[in-house]
Amino acid sequence: MNGLVRAGYRESERITRERARSFAFASTALGGDLKRASFAVYAFCRRCDDAVDSAEGLAAQQLAARVADLRAQVADAYRGEDRGDPVLAAFGDTVRAHAVPRQAVLELIDGMEQDLTTKRYETWEELLGYCDLAAGTVGRMMASVFGVTQLSALEHASALGCAMQLTNVLRDVAEDALVHDRVYLPRIALAEAGIDDARLAAWARAGSLDASAEAEAMRGVMREAGRRATALYEKADYGVPYIVVASGRACVRLMRATYSEILSVLAARGWDPFAGRASTSLPRKLRVGARALIGAWS
């Protein structure tokens, strides 16, 4: 490992600890090489996300150039070229050492690009397709880092990524509607509940649902999304035994337990996504994490 790669792993760890508290918490279960590799994957994914997010409002040609550069960076990483960039060097070292599928990385970038051009989803199927691009891909990358005994485990890894992304959607309904003019919840489900974009924005500005029939219907849409996310978490659970390394299994259990707890927070507040951003405190993460690991050991 040369100096640039070592520097890249250190920088990747810094980025992860600053930008992904839940993942940084779950990574405490990992040992040296797996922890470094996990940080490198996260840091490069975060780079892609930041590059595309900051492209909002750019002309189509500028956006295309930025996305093309991200794809070129992926090609460089797999060729062992680093551009003198420590994060890219660490990511390249990781994807080559762990045979991370290039297609998963490229599909992740596809999902990020789609986020700029698609502001609404018609059906649950369309939304879950986006979730797979945005995060199921990351599940497949991490399955390669941890190692699995069966290829079918990739399907379960994808399910965990999708569950986490859908959880993000539920947590960020207010911010997406008010700040980004983006509605991920399916248009058809909202329309059947009598909810339009103006109503979502009004609730977001008010900071809570009201006592209307539409508000009760909104809780129903949220509850259905939570049910779908829970089913995906449960599907992911079946893949954990296929992870080769015990510390990898522990990390996935911790991530699953702490992230799905956001659904518990939303359920406790009556599935109101506008009453502040749902999050879990460190003490709560420690409690649910301990239960997850004790359950795994049992």
Per residue in 272-298, pLDDT tens? 999 998 877 666 666 666 666 665 544
> Which residue's entry shows tokens 């991490």?
142
pLDDT at 169 > cutoff 80: yes
Q: What per-residue confidence (pLDDT) applies to 56?
A: 72
Tell which CATH architecture fits domain 118-298: Orthogonal Bundle (1.10)
**120-125: long-range contacts at Cβ-Cβ below 8 A with a sequence spacing of 24 or more?**
120/182, 120/183, 120/187, 121/183, 121/184, 121/185, 121/186, 121/187, 122/186, 122/187, 122/188, 123/186, 123/188, 124/186, 124/189, 124/228
Q: What per-residue confidence (pLDDT) applies to 138?
A: 96
All structural domains of the chain with their residue ranges: 1-101, 118-298
pLDDT at 40 > cutoff 80: yes
Stated pTM of the model: 0.92
Bridge partner residues of 243 (DSSP): 148
Q: Which residues neighbour 244 within 8 Å (Cβ) at sequence distance 6 or greater? A: 146, 147, 148, 149
SS3 label, residue 64: helix
pLDDT at 115 > cutoff 90: no
Bridge partner residues of 120 (DSSP): 183
Give 60-87 pLDDT, tens digit per residue.
788 888 899 999 999 999 999 999 999 9
Please state the rounded mean pLDDT for residues 91-107: 97
